[in-house]
Each structure stands twice: as C-alpha cells, then as structure tokens.
Structure 1
Amino acid sequence: MDLGLSGKVAVVTGGDSGIGKATAELLACEGAKVAVIDRTSQSLEQAAKEIGQFGEVFAVQADLTKPEEVESAKHQILARFGTVHILVHAAGITGATGDFLELSDEAWYKTIEIDLMGAVRTCRAFIGAMRKVGWGRVILISSEDAVQPYPEEMPYCACKAAVLNLAKNLSKAYAKDGVLVNAVSPAYIATPMTDAMMEKLSKQMNVSFDEAIASFLEENRPHIELKRRGKPEEVASVIAFLCSERSSFVLGSNWRVDGGSVTSL
C-alpha cells in the first residue's frame, strides 16, 4: 500500500530509540524526509546514522523542557526542509513512581514538563507550518495508562490522560486547516523505558531479566492476551498509517496498540 508520504517532511521527537526511532525508520522507508529530535547528542547521532540507511534524515538536539530549544529546533528544521507536514511526538519518561502521598511537587513537575508540556511545545512549534501548506498530521503518543491507570505511576497516568485530551482539542481546532490530529496508546512495548523498569524489577526480585518480564505480565498486565511485550515496529506501523494520505477521514481518535491490555472497548 502506497501511504503517499514521498516528499513529506516529518518531525519525530524521542527519535533516538524505541517507538520514535522505529517510526522515523518506517517514515523514511516510505519516502518522507525525517527530522529526529532528542536531547542526548550521542544516541541521537547514532540513531540518525541508522535511520539514514532508509532515507533522508536530519538530527536536531533539543531539550523539550526548554521552550527556547524547541523554538531553535523548529527554526533549524524549517531552514533545512522549508516546511513540516507531520509531527510524531514520542518523547516521554515514566517519571516519578510510588505512593501518591509521598510524591513531591517537584516529582510531579518533572513528569508534567516532559510528558505533557513537551507535547504542548512541539505542537505549538510545528502546527503553524502545516496550516500554511493546508496539510498536516499530528500523532501524539499516549498510553494505555491514560484510560486504565495504575496508582503507582500516577504522574505518568495523569499526563498521558492529558495528552489524549490535548489531541482531541487540537483535532477540533485545526481540522478546518487540513491538520488531522490523533493519538496512539501503546502498552508495554520493548523500549529502553520498559527495559529500565524490568531491570529494576529483576534486581528487586533477584531474578533474571526475562523472569522479571514474565512476572510483570502475570501480575501487572494480565490482560495482554498475547503474553509478551509489543515491538516498537508494531506501534510504528499504526503511526505511519495515521501519518498518511490513507487516514484522511481519521480525526480526534485514540488508537490502542496494547495486545488487549485495556479491558474495556
């Protein structure tokens, strides 16, 4: 299936690993020119080399918690490509975890700055270019946690719920300009973020990494019917469709890629 992405300019945040990198690679394979944004220069440069095997890529280092760096990234990308047609916001962190009564304001603010305000800042930076050309796709990565929250991950869950609301609001605000906004909600994907969670769990339980994964699936994610972690490429495939000409009547939706983890429809 031709997704109609040849020549489109795509911006992918969190593009140095996980879902962001897999998405950048797939978009490049489909003929898009891809700008990847991340805050760590070394991993970003390595990812750009690997993504560059599939098409044109431009790496931009920026900390999404700093508005001036997001603006700088925007200017660099527009100077390189002239416009932007697609934004995939995949950058995020697990953030503070633990008992709600023990989480400080600072712990909340750090998660909000990255998981919510990072989405706000990147959308504010790039939607304007899409409006000018009359065509755009914005995909915000939320999570199963947005609709099926876990008390030990409360700041993350709250931010991801806010991202869903942001996507819906933006979809209503800019559809008239040809900018279609949707959300994708993965669950327990094999990324560096969940790797870190499993490494921590394996140490706590004094078991192997694989045993920690098996335990987490059984105890914490029993409704993942496929009984495994998802692959970044499986999420990227859904994102690529939503970025494409083929999704021209898809707007304000939340696409779950969760192996059945969310128990309701």
Structure 2
Amino acid sequence: MIEHIIEIAKEAGQEILKYYDEEIEVKSKSDDSPLTKADLAAHHHIVNELKKLTPEIPIISEESGIPDFDERKKWDRFWLVDPLDGTKEFIKKNGEFTVNIALIVQDKPMLGVVYVPAFDTLYYGDRSSGSFKQESDKSPVQLNTLPYDKSEKARIVVSRSHGDDSTKRKLEKIGIEVSEEVPSGSSLKFCLVAEGKADLYPRLGPTMEWDTAAADAVYRYSIAEGEKPSPLSYNKENFKNPYFLLGLNENINAEEL
C-alpha cells in the first residue's frame, strides 16, 4: 500500500508547486494560521485519491475539519493528512514544506509518508519494513539510527518559525547539554532526528495531530528492529499534541519543562 501513498503524496506535491513561483495569495483561517490555494489543491487531490484507494477508511485532513469524538472514538483506523505542512515556509519560499499522509491504527501511526516537493525528497516508514529516505531518482536509503544517549551533548532541531531561546535552558534542567541548534521547518524536524542529522526535537509549543503523524511514523521505524518510543498518540478528543521531547529512549513529560 505504501507505494500508492507515495504516488499520491508526490502528485499532491506537484499540485503545490503549480503555485510556488507565482505571487502567493494568503488567507487566514479561524485560528489565524495561513491558508493558500496550494493547501486546498493538495487537500482535494489527496482526499479524492484516498477515497478511491480505500473507500472504507475515514479521512481527516487539516483542511476538512475534525469529526466529533463520539464518532471518531469508534474508528480502529483512519487516514490523517496535512496536505501542506509548513505553509509559512511555503509563503517564504524556502522549500521546507511537506506533504504528510499517515495511516493511524488504534491511536498509533502504522505508516507515514513525508514528501518535500521543492527538493524532490521523500521520507517514508511503516512498521513492517522500516523507514527510508529517497532523494529524486536515487535508490531509497534505509534509516537506522539509535535513540539519543543523555550522556552526550545534543544537537537539537529548532523551528524556523517558532524559535524559543529558553529551550536550551529547560533542557539543561534535565541534564541535557545542547551542542548545536539545527533549524528546520515543518515535519522535516522529525525526519532530521530519524536520519541522525539531529539528536532531539524538543517541541515546547502547540501542534496538532496532523502536523506530526506521518513524520512520527518515519521516526518510530527508523531503527533496525522494533520501533523507537514516541511520546505522541493519536485520535485524542481535542486532537492537540502535548509538548514533547522526541529522540529519547524514555518518555519525559515535556509539559513540566
């Protein structure tokens, strides 16, 4: 199935790129986050194709709204989509925006595809075969990294759009010394940890489930056997993620940092 999802994500990426070189018209959603024609074009393509592929599986996209929890709590699986993650990066035209498609099974991402249209770079992972990175038409490379060891200094991913100078001080309180900050946008932050270009991704700010699900799958399965622990779960009543610290071999309550 993942081959079909990769194809859908790449097609959505091409829909997004149709708008990339022109003047970008931006509207604001109810939460003041930006919305463009590219978001909607990718949304419609992904939803339509997923309905054809698996008509029996419900779909939640950032641009379609969240069904009532009384309905959702009965689902054993559903597609979770962010058709254009990193809209702010898209507007800035720095290339760090992604198409995210995940399959959630019993509150956990079993499969995830993250496509970076501007760089033609693909990350994908599933529980049965592991996680991979593919650049353009090169062969996929399997991601096999170990969780961060707290005895070492840490390279941390920081957001280009939501920087917070206090993060390093908060990590020091739990014995983590930061050696380097690696700036990145969108769900690429998870992928950088998955491929070993950074050790930790501390997110001490709000995110929604569609922001993280696909890249969380890439991270979880970027290990030779089994899976890495993730602090995130899915299909919560409010659909909001808690603050989190990704990359450790233990779960720390980041809300208390």
Q: TM-score, normalised by structure 1?
A: 0.27
Structure with more helix by fraction: 1
Structure with more strand by fraction: 2
Higher relative contact order by CA 8 Å / sep ≥ 6: 1 or 2? 1
